[in-house]
Amino acid sequence: MISSPNDPTARDTGADVYAIILAGGSGTRFWPLSRETHPKQMLQIVGEDSLLRETIKRIHGFVPAKNIWIVTTEDKAQDTRFHIDSLGSLAKEIGFINEPLGRNTAPAVGLAALCLNRLSPASIMVVLPADHAIPDGEKFLRDLKVAVQGAKEDSLVTFGIKPIRPETGYGYIKAARSSKTGSKGLLKVERFFEKPDLKTAKRYLSRGGYFWNSGIFVFKTSQILSEIQTHLPSLYDSLKKMEALLFEPDKPDQPSIPQSAFRNPQLVTLYSRLEPISIDYGIMERSPNILMVPAKFRWSDLGSWAALDEVIEKDRAGNILRGNTVSIGSQNSTVFAGDRLIATIGLKDMVVVDTPDATLVTPKDRVQEVRKIVETLKQGDREEHLIHKTVERPWGSYTVLEKGDRYKIKRVVLKPKAKLSLQLHRRRSEHWVVVSGVAKVTREEEIYLAYTNESTYIPVNTKHRLENPEEVPLQIIEVQNGDYLEEDDIERFADDYGRQ
Name which of 48 and 451 has its Cβ closer to a second copy: 451
Measure Cα distances from 418 to 61, 210, 314 in Å: 30, 52, 40
The DSSP-derived string for 365-427 is: GGGGGHHHHHHHHHHTT-STTT--SEEEETTEEEEEEEEETTEEEEEEEE-TT-BPPEEE-SS
Among 357, 392, 470, 495, binds a second copy (CB under 8 A): 357
Name which of 93 and 354 has its Cβ closer to a second copy: 354
Q: Residue 450 CA to chain centroid, in angstroms?
A: 38
Q: How far is the CB of 349 from a second copy (least distance, A)?
A: 11
Compute the half-sphere exposure of residue 166: CA atoms within 13 Å on the CB side of its CA.
12
Q: Should residue 354 be labelled a site residue for a second copy when binding is judged by CB under 8 A?
A: yes
Q: How far is the CB of 388 from a second copy (least distance, A)?
A: 13
- Per the CB < 8 A criterion, the answer to whether 396 and 473 are in contact is yes
Mask for 384-413, x = binds a second copy (CB under 8 A):
x----------------xx-xxxx-x-x--
Among 87, 128, 358, 474, binds a second copy (CB under 8 A): 358
Name which of 121 and 323 has its Cβ closer to a second copy: 323
Does an H or E element contain 457, and which?
Answer: strand 455-458
Q: How far is the CB of 124 from a second copy (least distance, A)?
A: 43
Mask for 415-444, x = binds a second copy (CB under 8 A):
--------------x-x-x-xx--------
Give dist(CA 474, CA 480) in Å, integer: 18
Q: How far is the CB of 415 from a second copy (least distance, A)?
A: 17
Name which of 380 and 498 has its Cβ closer to a second copy: 380
Q: Give the sheet arrangement for strand 446-451, strand by strand.
A: 446-451, 438-443, 464-467, 422-424, 491-494
Of 278, 305, 214, the residue nearest 29 (C-alpha): 305
Q: How far is the CB of 393 from a second copy (least distance, A)?
A: 19
User: How many other CB atoms sit within 10 Å of the CB of residue 84?
Assistant: 22
Q: Should residue 342 be labelled a site residue for a second copy when binding is judged by CB under 8 A?
A: yes
Query: Judged by CB under 8 A, how many residues of this single chain contact a second copy?
Result: 54
Of 357, 354, 318, the residue nearest 335 (C-alpha): 354
List of long-range contacts for 323-329, beta carbons under 8 Å, 24+ apart: 323/354
Select the span of 163-171, 237-245, 339-347, 415-423 touching a second copy (CB under 8 A).
Answer: 339-347
- Per the CB < 8 A criterion, the answer to whether 129 and 302 are in contact is no
List of long-range contacts for 400-408, beta carbons under 8 Å, 24+ apart: 401/477, 403/485, 406/481, 406/482, 406/483, 406/485, 407/479, 407/480, 407/481, 407/482, 407/485, 408/479, 408/480, 408/485
Name which of 277 and 358 has its Cβ closer to a second copy: 358
Select the span of 33-41, 131-139, 349-357, 438-446 touching a second copy (CB under 8 A).
Answer: 349-357
Name which of 138 and 315 has its Cβ closer to a second copy: 315
The DSSP-derived string for 21-38 is: EE-----GGGTTTSBTTB
Binders in 364-383 for a second copy, by CB under 8 A: 366-367, 369-370, 372-373, 376-377, 382
Among 200, 254, 362, 390, binds a second copy (CB under 8 A): 362
Measure Cα distances from 119 to 12, 122, 169, 227 in Å: 7, 9, 37, 19
Binders in 89-148 for a second copy, by CB under 8 A: none
- Looking at the DSSP bridge assignments, the partners of residue 479 are 409, 431
Q: Should residue 363 be labelled a site residue for a second copy when binding is judged by CB under 8 A?
A: yes
Select the span of 34-42, 165-173, 307-315, 356-364 touching a second copy (CB under 8 A).
Answer: 356-364
Q: Should residue 32 be labelled a site residue for a second copy when binding is judged by CB under 8 A?
A: yes
Q: Which residues bind a second copy (CB under 8 A)?
A: 32, 326, 328-329, 340-347, 350, 352, 354, 356-363, 366-367, 369-370, 372-373, 376-377, 382, 384, 401-402, 404-407, 409, 411, 429, 431, 433, 435-436, 452-453, 455, 457, 475, 477, 479, 481
